[in-house]
Amino acid sequence: MPQPCTFPCPAIVNPTMFFNITADVEPLGSISFKLFADKVPKTAGNFCALSTGEKGCGYKGSCFHRIISGFTCQGGDFTHHNSTGGKSIYGEKFDDENFVLKHTGPGILFMENAEPNTNGSQVFICTSKTEWLNSKHVVFNQVKDGMGIFHLVVSGGPIVLHKWQDQQKDHHH
């Protein structure tokens, strides 16, 4: 059973989260993400709690509903699965925490928003450098291992549906 996420976490400042990614029912592999909870604790806490489902809702079973080759994979709409839904653990939306972290290259995760201060559950996983998004979308996470799965997805591999399934036993290591 995953442990509850509280930030800042005194034992582990920047925990690692794990997901198993599938296409339809075919496993593609595991991806690990390093949360930057020391820089953006509220945003990281939202992702952490949605990853474990500890607040009664979360990413498990949601899909990457938008994939743009050479740019990003977008997912995290666990209510409608089409970019129109999702919610944060703080209510429907929450404010931009800060823009200290930058969109430096592939593997950066940042919050999707329609306008300033409208963060929910949807995230982008970059497959290229996206510096034009600095000060517009909060960066909170970095792919640690498994980035090759996203390169397969955006290069037109045999992917139909991309699901996140939280399988972590202990995400604080």
Q: What is the pLDDT of residues 91-149, one digit of tens each?
A: 999 999 999 999 999 999 999 999 999 999 999 999 899 999 999 999 999 999 998 88
How many whole angstroms separate alpha carbon 90 and alpha carbon 1? 22
How many whole angstroms separate alpha carbon 20 and alpha carbon 126? 18
Which residue of the set 47, 133, 142, 162 is catalytic? 133
Specify whether 78 is catalytic: no
Specify whether 71 is catalytic: yes
Which residue of the set 65, 81, 137, 162 is catalytic? 137
- At 8, which amino acid appears? P
Specify whether 74 is catalytic: yes
Specify whether 66 is catalytic: yes
Q: What is the pLDDT of residues 72-105, one digit of tens each?
A: 888 999 999 888 999 999 999 999 999 999 999 9
| pTM of this structure | 0.83
Which residue of the set 66, 134, 152, 165 is catalytic? 66
- Which segment, 14-28, 53-67, 90-104, is predicted with the most confidence on average? 90-104
Higher per-residue confidence, 48 vs 170: 48
In CATH terms, the fold of domain 16-165 is: Cyclophilin (2.40.100)
CA-closest candidate to residue 48, choices 102, 90, 82:
90
DSSP state of 31: E
Rg (CA), the chain: 15
How many whole angstroms separate alpha carbon 129 and alpha carbon 59? 25
Specify whether 113 is catalytic: yes
pLDDT confidence band for 1 (50 / 70 / 90): very low
Which residue of the set 46, 64, 94, 113 is catalytic? 113
Specify whether 18 is catalytic: no
Residue 30 pLDDT: 86
